Copies of this chain bind each other. A is one copy, B any other.
Amino acid sequence: MQNEASPLYIVGIAGSLRKASYNRALLAAARQRAPTGVQIEIHTLDPIPLYNQDIENQGIPTAVQKLRDAIYAADAVLLVTPEYNSGIPGVLKNTLDWLSRPPKPHPFDGRPVGIMGTTPGGFGTRAAQYQLRQVLVPLNAYVMAQPMMLVPGAGDKFDEEQTLTDEKTLAFLDRYLTSFSAWTRHFPA
């Protein structure tokens, strides 16, 4: 077990490619609000190709390998998911599919994971988060149970520059990040 005050390095991934995505904005807010000693490094999924075993057979694509290496080197992963059609976006699932491939151990095996998400509508990615949890079970990720960071009504909580400005949400985000840091510290690096 790491010392309470040990620094943490967390890979942050948002499951949307859209520049003005609320979920990218939520991840950016998390990076900015990270507790002292906790560093969140954001990796975008733009360069990750669509999974194709024929491509894989020619060698793991560089972008996938880079993300693998970053997660291996990290203490934890923070996944920020939109909800499309009551589930996680194919963009995010595609990345998890790549990362689940050999060589073993894949980078989620025994890695602490936190999940957050935001929607313009009223449910804040609740269905997507439960689906994402199910996908992470066979990967043996150590997913924090509570609190769940669900942000409905995104349009009222971010300003025009995609900055999270809602005071209540910011306070909950701080609490979430403190809990997630404590969860991560349950597991030796």
Interface size on A, residues (CB 8 A): 17
Contacts of A148 in B (CB 8 A): 137
| Distance of A139 Cα from B1 Cα, bound (Å) | 24
Contacts of A189 in B (CB 8 A): none
Q: Which one of B1, B140, B145, B187 contacts A146 once the chains associate, using CB atoms below 8 Å?
A: B140
Contacts of A98 in B (CB 8 A): none
Contact call A140/B136, Cβ cutoff below 8 A: no
* A1-B1, A186-B187, A187-B186 as given contacts; A145 in contact with B134, CB under 8 Å: no
A133 within 8 A of B: yes
Q: Say how far A50's CB is from chain B's closest CB, in angstroms.
A: 27
A142 within 8 A of B: yes
Contact call A137/B130, Cβ cutoff below 8 A: yes
Q: How many copies does the complex hold?
A: 2
Contacts of A133 in B (CB 8 A): 133-134, 137
Q: Say how far A87's CB is from chain B's closest CB, in angstroms.
A: 14
Contacts of A130 in B (CB 8 A): 134, 137
Q: Say how far A176's CB is from chain B's closest CB, in angstroms.
A: 13
| Distance of A134 Cα from B130 Cα, bound (Å) | 7
| Distance of A134 Cα from B134 Cα, bound (Å) | 8
Contact call B143/A145, Cβ cutoff below 8 A: yes
Nearest opposing residue in chain B for A142, CB measure:
B145
A138 within 8 A of B: yes
Contact call B145/A136, Cβ cutoff below 8 A: yes
**Can you list 9 A-B contacts with CB-CB less than 8 angstroms, sorted by A residue number?**
A130-B137, A133-B133, A136-B145, A137-B148, A139-B145, A141-B145, A143-B145, A186-B186, A186-B187
